[in-house]
Structure formats: structure tokens, C-alpha cells
Amino acid sequence: MPTTANGWGVESPTDAIHQITCERRDLKPEDVRITISHCGICHSDLHFAHDDWGMSHYPMIPGHEIVGVVEEVGSAVSSFAKGDRVAVGCMVDSCQNCEFCDGGEEQFCVEGSTFTYGVPDRHGGISQGGYSDHIVVRQEFVCRVPDALDMAHAAPLLCAGITTYSPLKRWGVKEGQKVAVIGMGGLGNMAVKLAKALGAEVTVISRSNDKEAAAKAAGASELLVSTDEEAMGAAAGRFHLILDTIPVGHSVDSYTPLLRPYGTLVLVGAPEPIPEVSGGTLIFGNRAVAGTMIGGVNETQEMLDFCAEHGVTPDIEVIKGSEIAKAWDTLAAGDMPHRYVIDIASS
């Protein structure tokens, strides 16, 4: 039988977040029902809730940084059992038949992957996320949480972790290389820690030195102030890779000269238009500007295992469900060098 999930959500783009319910489908043979213990808060939750990208459906329960315990499995599930510590990220379904799904890159599913919340699902409803007490997900989109990871700290890894791990791996970051991270919010915090764990020397780039202590605590060797023209000029040609985590549209033209020849600046935070890219700066250094989304499910599991092995966890602040609205306001006001995580089980 379908079940009713209790959670927190919105019913229109202008609605304040409040307690609401949604219906979870009855278990299909390939499904896993998960009792959610924690869910991280991502800046994308605000964008989706406010329909900033013109693709949201309501009512909506946000949340795609989900961890919990398996409560029940469908008849065809063999990979998970009741009591397993598990996680769900930004996707909950895909066609499972195209070249990208077969290649472990479900995020590029030809028919379109199903986001964890706020979009039509493949069962005739609207997907609803992890700001709720339980969720039903097909087994292919469930990851295991290694025993070495605390559940609350594991939650943000399902978005902030994979969003930054995937480009670091794709562009082959390794020991001895120099990596810069623009922005010291939740994504920036994870990017610094992961790049450091891969052996890179990491610099944080920020508009002021206010985040210097947080940057160095995360593992950065220095903070470069982007408004300091002399310091930016001295850093020209230094970095193999720059991860740009700024969550809104902005010019990257002041950052591309910091790349070494053949270096790449990778956008991970802003799908809005990016103005003022100088072709000469790119051409005369064989530099590139690229974008990256999340990784597939297999890469997400790889990231969780890597974080467990290397002791990489995000800086977090655990809150109750009643504090989500305040957390959203704080997040909307600017970057924070940590991630909010909702203690669902205690809320």
C-alpha cells in the first residue's frame, strides 16, 4: 500500500516552507523504502522552491542529500536488506537502457534522469525529496554509507561531495598540482578538502579575506583576494584547475588568466549566463572553460568510499525541521563555509 510521508515543503514559488505531507508509492519489485535520518540543505533547494529555473512542480518537498536506513525492500532487490545504512543523491530514476545509463552516467540519460524532487516522475506523480521521514527509490539509485562515515556528515556528500569530486577526478587532479577554488560556501568547503586529499596544493579565491580562517582550516594553503589586482596579477598562470563554485551568474574573465597553459576553469555552481569570456586569454594559453554537473551513481559510491578512506567530511551545522526557514534565509544571504543538515529523525 502507498504510505504517507511527513515533511517540510512549499506549495508555490512564493510559499514559506512549512510542514506538509506527500504520498510515497507502494514498493515495486526493484524498490527500496528508506527511513530518512538526515538530509542536507543545498542552495539548489532554494532555487527549485522559488522556481528560479522555470522547471519546478508543486507541491514540493525538497532535499537531495539523503541518508538513512533501509526499512523494506521489493521482491527483486538483492543488493540491500533491512537495516543497511544507505544514501540517495540528486537522482532517483532513469531509463536504465540508453548508452549513458549503461555507462554509469545516469545524469545524462537520453530520456532524462528523474531528479529527486520537484519534477514529474516515471510513475505518474511528482518526485518528492528528503526533507521528509521516508522515501521510496529504485535500488539502482541507492548507495551504501560506509561505516566510517557519520550519517549527519555523510548527507552533504550526496550533492556537494559528488559535485566537486567528479570534476577533480575527470581533470585528473593529482599530487603536486595546484588547484584553486572560487568561493568558500558548502561546495567550496568540500572542493578544498577533496583536492587536498588527492594531493593538490589548494588556494581559495574570495572577494575578501573574511573566509581565510575557514579556507585554511579546510586545508587550503592560502586565500587569494579577487579584488586585489596586484595579487591576482602575481597569480597569473599558476593553476592547473580552477573550480568555480559561485552559485549565481558572473564573469569568469578575471579568473581565466590564473590558469596554466592547458588549464581548465570548471563551473560547478551557476547555470545562469556567463558573460565576458576573452577568447584571446583562452586561445593563447590553450585554456578552457568547462561545466560539470553531478556524477553517476557508481561515481557517487566511489566518492563515498574515498571520503571514508581519507577521513574527508564536510563542515556542518545540524538543525531541526523547525529551523529550515531560518537556514534558507541565511543561505540566501551569502556563502557559508559549512552545510546545514536537517536531523530528520529528531524532528
Q: Out of 35-44, 114-123, 329-338, which region has the weakest mean confidence (pLDDT)?
A: 329-338
Q: What is the pLDDT of residue 335?
A: 63
Could you check whether the bond before residue 59 is cis, i.e. omega within 30 degrees of 0?
yes
Answer yes or no: is pLDDT of 336 > 80: no
Residue-wise pLDDT tens digits, 165-209: 999 999 999 999 999 999 998 899 999 999 999 999 999 999 999
Q: Which of 337, 150, 138, 341 is nearest to 245 (CA)?
A: 337
- Domains annotated for the chain, with CATH where assigned, are 3-159+295-343 (3.90.180.10), 161-291 (3.40.50.720)
R_g of the chain computed on alpha carbons: 20
Rounded to whole angstroms, the Cα distance separating 290 from 304 reads 24
Provide the strand spans (E) within the chain: 3-9, 18-24, 31-40, 66-73, 85-88, 91-93, 114-115, 134-138, 143-144, 178-182, 201-206, 222-225, 239-244, 259-267, 288-291, 316-319, 339-343
- CA distance readout (Å), 164 to 35, 44, 126, 329, 343: 27, 15, 28, 24, 24
Residues 6+ apart with CB under 8 A from 124: none
Q: How many CA atoms lie within 13 A of 36 on its CB side?
A: 29
Q: What is the mean pLDDT of the chain?
A: 95
- pLDDT above 90 (res 21): yes
Asked which of 62-66, 252-256, 330-334 is least confident by mean pLDDT, the reply is: 330-334
Q: What is the mean pLDDT of residues 63-85?
A: 97
Name the band, by pLDDT with cuts 50, 70 and 90, for residue 271: confident
Give the largest Cα separation in the chain, rounded: 65
pLDDT > 70 in the chain, percent: 100
Residues in CB range of 28: below 8 A, 6 or more apart: 74, 138
Residue 324: which pLDDT band, with cuts at 50, 70 and 90? Answer: very high
Answer whether residue 261 shows pLDDT above 90. Answer: yes
Beta strands at 143-144 and 85-88: parallel, antiparallel or unpaired: antiparallel
Q: Which long-range contacts (CB under 8 A, 24 or more apart) does 76-84 make?
A: 76/29, 76/30, 77/29, 77/30, 77/31, 77/32, 77/139, 79/139, 79/142, 80/32, 80/139, 80/142, 84/144
Judged by average pLDDT, the poorest of 223-232, 276-285, 318-327 is 276-285
Inform me whether the pLDDT recorded for 254 exceeds 90.
Answer: yes
Residues 6+ apart with CB under 8 A from 200: 173, 174, 175, 176, 177, 178, 179, 240
